[in-house]
């Protein structure tokens, strides 16, 4: 690994400079340097994680790294619903990006997702095309024809599930949802063990799976960490390098081509700051436009979710030695007019904390997986180090709120079923923001809170219910909420939170579409030698958590980029 403290010699410029060593950036760095024909420099704002010394919280198969503030962009916030105040919105700043801190759900999405990409102008995309690249990535030994790709994927065997999950599977079956052994190979509605990006004892990160010791030994690959790229440098409409900051010093790095892989929030922010975006908006921010591209920062999409928390009695919990998080999922279709099938996803978490009380509570999440609402990323100021303004507008499209309510009602219905209710003590609708994270604070305060939580969660009924309501700010448990005292639609909608799945802000599309930012070869339309490759290029959000789809896009992009420089 290198540190940059002075301007780089232009004669040493790499063929490819990749901005951001996240989920996509790590794949590109590995694939573009593989043949030895191209020199590649990868520049990441966060710290590096070397294969031999990756921190234990990143390796953990329970997502402990999600709780480590050192791995996130400080101060980043987002507005969830129009008119609300912004709330913290965590995005990774660490080698491996989101793959190093995520919840490890590993879903491919649905065939209709990729048809919609093609329909929106990203021609060439189809389910078959996506599967070609998914097979390169997935190492899923539960399959007879496992292709032994780069990234291990595992599921929890049903014998290890906490009893409420098995009871939910049975309750779902009674409602017509079949059990699907491999939801990625057989996408559709049904109950399934959640594929997870890990092997038995280690999380699969893009850094670990692609920036291997072997890749790092390549003479043509340079990895630079702790270095924030603040601006792209242009000569006319040709990008010639970037300006970066490391430990307070400002350096210029020249490159033949620049690939922006800074994620769906920071990629558009970097383009905007460099004069690539809606010209009028840029001028208002005091930035001289290099090109007028109205789509930069627009088309922001994300999944929304809410949680029911379950207190579990002894004997009904996940075995405490299992470092696991997500257990199983249920995909369902709202069947509301104009809405695609498979638009709702329920998921079950068996452990909510790495600490002792972590298996005393479980969660059932309900998420909208094909939202129509769109928001935006804009510059909040032209200070190169300032976070951008993120506004999701999650309920702007009238088709979204009814489906959020429908998903939550499906979860509530399953939780009220007698076989499921026999497996927990109480179930509560959690207010937005997963208050359980308060008990996951680092340091002594967190340890003390967690110890208190353990005592409260194992106390007799009335004390436990009181403690849970005080600690999580929940309303009364489901068992006490019937008829006019039941959960209201307003309560459901105000429990809504954004997942960490922003996409769409540098959308791929047709050359003639003013809203498109990159063409089908990931080149920024109207500029030379500049590419964007990450979750921001997805024109429509897939019906899946976005890490596996981003890996897939990056593998696809590596092939396209190499074709274009042959
Ligand atoms: C809390 C959380 C939980 C998640 N859980 C799941 C899950 O369970 N399953 C799933 O499939 N997906 C999950 N995701 C989503 C998934 O992680 C992302 O979709 C994926 O990582 C996106 O990849 P990316 O390459 O677009 O961006 P990122 O992985 O975010 O990578 C961008 C990288 O660029 C770097 N960077 C940004 N700006 C600059 C700059 N100016 N200079 C230098 N470097 C820069 C960042 O530090 C970062 O490392 C989760 C995300 C979050 C935040």
Ligand 1 binding pocket includes 21 (Cβ within 6 Å) = yes
Ligand 1 binding pocket includes 254 (Cβ within 6 Å) = no
CA–CA separation, 80 and 18 (whole Å): 30
Which pLDDT band, with edges at 50, 70 and 90, does 37 fall under? very high
pLDDT at 434: 56
Contact status, residue 6 vs residue 14, Cβ threshold 8 Å: no
Rounded to the nearest integer, the mean pLDDT of the chain is 95
Is 484 buried (19+), middle (13-18) or exposed (0-12) by CB count in 10 A? exposed
3-state secondary structure (DSSP) of residue 88: strand
Beta bridge partners of 159: none
Query: Per-residue pLDDT tens for 268-322?
Result: 999 999 999 999 999 999 999 999 999 999 999 999 999 999 999 999 999 999 9
pLDDT at 4: 60
Residue nearest to atom 23 of ligand 1 (CA): 23
Ligand 1 binding pocket includes 500 (Cβ within 6 Å) = yes
3-state secondary structure (DSSP) of residue 404: helix
The Å distance, Cα 380 to ligand 1 centre, comes to 21
Ligand 1 binding pocket includes 92 (Cβ within 6 Å) = yes
- In angstroms, how far is CA 500 from the centroid of its own chain? 4
CA–CA separation, 329 and 350 (whole Å): 12
Please report which helix (H) or strand (E) contains residue 308, including its range. strand 304-311
The two three-digit tokens of residue 89, written as one number: 């919105």
Ligand 1 binding pocket includes 508 (Cβ within 6 Å) = no
Nearest to 164 by CA among 480, 422, 426: 422
Is 50 buried (19+), middle (13-18) or exposed (0-12) by CB count in 10 A? middle
Nearest to 351 by CA among 107, 548, 151, 66: 66
Please count the other Cβ atoms lying within 10 Å of the Cβ belonging to residue 157.
9
Nearest to 345 by CA among 179, 107, 181: 107
CA–CA separation, 302 and 324 (whole Å): 25
3-state secondary structure (DSSP) of residue 224: strand
Q: Which 3-state string (H, E, C) describes 132-163? A: HHHHHHEECCCCCCCCCCCEECECCCHHHCCH
Please report which helix (H) or strand (E) contains residue 269, including its range. helix 263-273
Show Cβ contacts of residue 412 under 8 Å, excluding neighbours closer than 6 positions: 308, 478, 487
Residue nearest to atom 6 of ligand 1 (CA): 102
- The Cα-based distances of 506 to 230, 302, 369, 550 in angstroms read 18, 14, 20, 14
Confidence (pTM): 0.97
Which pLDDT band, with edges at 50, 70 and 90, does 404 fall under? very high
> Region 10-39: what's the mean pLDDT?
95
Nearest to 343 by CA among 310, 307, 367: 367
CA–CA separation, 204 and 198 (whole Å): 5
Residue nearest to atom 3 of ligand 1 (CA): 102
Ligand 1 binding pocket includes 24 (Cβ within 6 Å) = yes
pLDDT at 500: 97
Show Cβ contacts of residue 100 under 8 Å, excluding neighbours closer than 6 positions: 49, 58, 65, 71, 92, 94, 203, 205, 206, 207
The two three-digit tokens of residue 292, written as one number: 């007028």
Please count the other Cβ atoms lying within 10 Å of the Cβ belonging to residue 480.
11
Query: Per-residue pLDDT tens for 335-355?
Result: 999 999 999 999 999 999 999
CA–CA separation, 31 and 40 (whole Å): 10
The Å distance, Cα 171 to ligand 1 centre, comes to 35
The Å distance, Cα 441 to ligand 1 centre, comes to 22
Please count the other Cβ atoms lying within 10 Å of the Cβ belonging to residue 247.
9
Residue nearest to atom 37 of ligand 1 (CA): 262
The Å distance, Cα 58 to ligand 1 centre, comes to 14
pLDDT at 2: 59
Percentage, residues of the chain above pLDDT 90:
87
Ligand 1 binding pocket includes 195 (Cβ within 6 Å) = no
Query: Per-residue pLDDT tens for 185-241?
Result: 999 999 999 999 999 999 999 999 999 999 999 999 999 999 999 999 999 999 999
Q: Residues 234, 238, 240, 243: is their CA dihedral positive or negative? A: positive
Ligand 1 binding pocket includes 169 (Cβ within 6 Å) = no
Ligand 1 binding pocket includes 152 (Cβ within 6 Å) = no
> Region 50-72: what's the mean pLDDT?
96
Query: Per-residue pLDDT tens for 89-99?
Result: 999 999 999 99
Ligand 1 binding pocket includes 78 (Cβ within 6 Å) = no
Contact status, residue 276 vs residue 296, Cβ threshold 8 Å: yes
pLDDT at 444: 84
Ligand 1 binding pocket includes 93 (Cβ within 6 Å) = yes
Contact status, residue 227 vs residue 21, Cβ threshold 8 Å: no
Ligand 1 binding pocket includes 388 (Cβ within 6 Å) = no
pLDDT at 64: 94
Query: Which among 383, 501, 534, 558 is the best mutation to test ligand 1's pocket, defined by most ligand atoms within 8 Å of the CB?
Result: 501
Ligand 1 binding pocket includes 23 (Cβ within 6 Å) = yes
Contact status, residue 195 vs residue 207, Cβ threshold 8 Å: no
> Region 464-487: what's the mean pLDDT?
85
Query: Which among 29, 75, 98, 501 is the best mutation to test ligand 1's pocket, defined by most ligand atoms within 8 Å of the CB?
Result: 98
């Amino acid at each position: 690994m290198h540190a940059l403290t002075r301007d780089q010699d232009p004669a040493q410029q790499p063929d490819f400079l990749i901005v951001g060593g996240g989920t996509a950036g790590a794949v590109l760095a590995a694939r573009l340097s593989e043949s030895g024909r191209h020199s590649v420099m990868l520049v990441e704002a966060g710290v590096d994680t070397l294969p031999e010394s990756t921190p234990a919280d990143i390796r953990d198969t329970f997502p402990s790294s999600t709780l480590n503030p050192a791995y996130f962009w400080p101060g980043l916030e987002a507005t969830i619903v129009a008119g609300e105040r912004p709330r913290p919105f965590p995005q990774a700043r660490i080698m491996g990006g989101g793959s190093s801190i995520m919840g490890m759900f590993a879903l491919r999405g649905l065939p209709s997702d990729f048809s919609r990409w093609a329909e929106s102008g990203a021609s060439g995309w189809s389910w078959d095309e996506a599967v070609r690249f998914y097979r390169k990535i997935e190492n899923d030994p539960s399959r007879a024809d496992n292709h032994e790709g780069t990234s291990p994927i595992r599921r929890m065997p049903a014998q290890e599930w906490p009893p409420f999950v098995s009871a939910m599977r049975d309750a779902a079956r009674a409602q017509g949802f079949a059990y699907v052994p491999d939801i990625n190979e057989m996408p559709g509605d049904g109950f399934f063990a959640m594929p997870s990006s890990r092997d038995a004892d280690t999380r699969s990160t893009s850094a670990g799976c692609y920036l291997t010791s072997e890749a790092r030994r390549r003479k043509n690959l340079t990895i630079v960490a702790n270095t924030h790229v603040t601006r792209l440098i242009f000569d006319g409409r040709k990008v010639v390098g970037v300006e970066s900051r490391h430990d307070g010093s400002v350096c210029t790095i020249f490159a033949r081509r620049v690939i922006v892989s800074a994620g769906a929030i920071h990629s558009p922010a970097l383009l905007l700051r460099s004069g690539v975006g809606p010209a009028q908006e840029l001028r208002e921010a005091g930035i001289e436009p290099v090109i007028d591209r109205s789509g930069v920062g627009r088309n922001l999409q994300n999944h929304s979710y809410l949680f029911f928390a379950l207190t579990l009695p002894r004997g009904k919990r996940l075995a405490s030695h299992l470092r696991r998080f997500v257990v199983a999922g249920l995909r369902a279709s709202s069947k509301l007019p104009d809405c695609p099938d498979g638009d709702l996803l329920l998921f079950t978490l068996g452990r909510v904390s790495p600490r002792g009380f972590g298996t005393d509570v479980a969660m059932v999440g309900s998420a909208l997986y094909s939202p129509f609402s769109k928001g935006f990323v804009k510059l909040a100021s032209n200070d190169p180090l300032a976070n951008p303004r993120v506004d999701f507008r999650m309920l702007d499209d009238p088709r979204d709120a009814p489906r959020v309510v429908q998903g939550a009602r499906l979860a509530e219905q399953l939780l009220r079923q007698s076989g499921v209710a026999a497996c927990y003590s109480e179930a509560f609708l959690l207010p937005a923001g997963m208050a359980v994270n308060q008990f996951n604070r680092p340091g002594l305060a967190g340890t003390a809170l967690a110890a208190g939580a353990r005592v409260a969660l194992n106390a007799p009924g009335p004390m436990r219910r009181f403690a849970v309501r005080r600690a999580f700010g929940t309303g009364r448990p489901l068992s006490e909420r019937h008829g006019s005292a039941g959960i209201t639609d307003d309560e459901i909608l105000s429990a809504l939170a954004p997942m960490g799945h922003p996409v769409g802000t540098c959308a791929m599309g047709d050359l003639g579409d003013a809203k498109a930012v990159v063409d089908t070869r990931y080149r920024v339309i109207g500029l030379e030698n500049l590419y964007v490759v990450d979750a921001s290029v997805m024109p429509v959000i897939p019906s899946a958590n976005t890490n596996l789809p981003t890996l897939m896009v990056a593998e696809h992009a590596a092939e396209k980029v190499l074709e274009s420089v042959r």
